[in-house]
Structure 1
């Protein structure tokens, strides 16, 4: 987007905003997918007791017992210039001055998104993994497949439905979010949702509606692309 100087200022800003929104969606999707798949795999295949599975699963939902705003604000005393992280690092003489990019930055926005929405990835993947026939894994092991081969060739394909559903949840929520970006970005980071919210507050309803329609179209295209990978109706 460095070459967007050839375009009008308004169009340039709009393109950069959509690019920023897509960037956050992709980053959060990748991180939540890795964490969600890892947690779901551990709960489904390494925790043998159903009671322990239930207990650990409930522990994963504890952050959802409070509102999103409270969970976001809880990062401020940790990541701020005089927060716990900076004070600890300075106390250990690992840094001389506070790290500025921990809060009100792209890092803090992505961190908050991951904290808020990883559960939306864990649940559908865990549900798919619990439906996998364990005899298939035993057959792969008996055939001489390594753990990684079994994971990649058996578990991942059979968990595809959960991965797609979790991806749809995370991407669509992040694409339209404006509260998290506003709070954790210090009102300095733009997103399509934030622009729509600002335009609405200034009674610029035609512009807000236009952006909302474009955002909806982009989200629907992403969902359509994801659902082409698996027939969710048959898998559920």
Structure 2
């Protein structure tokens, strides 16, 4: 085999193997190499999370936290839930509302993100053009989320550009009220903010698909939809699941978007935590944070059952 016939991935793997052997040769074990990241993970994630769980079981009054074990912060959240059945109590209605927005945003970002990634991966032939267009998708991230949210207000407001256009075109007789400070505006803002989190992992998965498989499917007589459904989507599942985890976890804990685009009229799970913190009720805030984390982890586990992300990567 000549040197020119060795593929780039093979060279890369050989280089990584040589580097690992070099580290092993100087006596640096793997656990020691991972220690810096492990320490960062321990001090900035594990320990704060443990402290939040501990505080969630503390008692409190109007003036201070009392370091004595109690489940008061949890029982108060679900107080009256069993009594009101089949009606839902406030906390359950809040989580159902948040889950509804999660599903809507997940679906819209998945459709848009998958379409963009598919176009970049299979319809743009030049690698340079692919990268340029991919970088164009990152332009909105050059500004803060708050600015991007506020930019919708002049467009969707009662006297905004959209209503002006609808009135001048005689499509409506009066300004449309539900365009702003409504579930529609919240979902639109979330889709605008987080579609890129769906584009990146799906595009990465699609770029790993061997284009010869697609050509073989067409040669075998498969239509475009059959190739998409039976080949591209199954091979893109790891990217879809990773993007879904990003979008769902961010939406579940968000409260700023709900406040700005919902006019502080739409409840969310993250808003419950923020309200408790503003009232200086730290144990209930910690309890709600733990509940929110548990619900989010259940969603992630359910998504991971669709595709074993760790195995696929």
Q: In which range does the TM-score fall when normalised by the shorter chain? A: over 0.9
User: Match for residue 185 of structure 1?
Assistant: 262
The answer to whether structure 1 residue 196 and structure 2 residue 273 are counterparts is yes
The answer to whether structure 1 residue 147 and structure 2 residue 236 are counterparts is no
Please identify runs of 4+ aligned residues in structure 1 that moved more than 3 A: none
Instruction: Please point out which of 119, 131, 135 is paired with 1:58.
Output: 135
User: Match for residue 111 of structure 2?
Assistant: 34
Normalised to the residue count of structure 2, the TM-score between the two structures is 0.72
Counting only pairs closer than 5 Å after superposition, residues 79-228 of structure 1 correspond to structure 2 as: 79-228=156-305
Cα RMSD (Å) of the superposition? Answer: 1.3
User: Match for residue 306 of structure 2?
Assistant: 229
Q: C-alpha distance in 2, partners of 1:230/1:16?
A: 30
Normalised to the residue count of structure 1, the TM-score between the two structures is 0.95
Q: C-alpha distance in 1, partners of 2:93/2:82?
A: 12
Q: C-alpha distance in 1, partners of 2:218/2:94?
A: 48
SS in structure 2 at match of 1:104: coil
User: Match for residue 15 of structure 1?
Assistant: 92
The Cα shift of 1:143 comes to: 0.8
Q: C-alpha distance in 2, partners of 1:231/1:114?
A: 26
Unaligned ranges ≥5, structure 2:
1-80
Number of corresponding residues: 231
The Cα shift of 1:234 comes to: 2.3
Q: Deviations over 1:159-193 (max 9, x none)?
A: 00000000000000000000100100001100010
Q: Deviations over 1:6-38 (max 9, x none)?
A: 529xx7111110011000001000010000000
The Cα shift of 1:148 comes to: 0.3
The Cα shift of 1:211 comes to: 1.1
SS in structure 2 at match of 1:167: helix
The Cα shift of 1:235 comes to: 1.8
The Cα shift of 1:233 comes to: 1.8
Q: Deviations over 1:190-231 (max 9, x none)?
A: 001011101110012122111111110010011111111222
Unaligned ranges ≥5, structure 1:
none
Q: Deviations over 1:142-161 (max 9, x none)?
A: 11100000000000000000
The Cα shift of 1:50 comes to: 1.0
SS in structure 1 at match of 2:306: coil
Q: Which structure: larger Rg?
A: 2
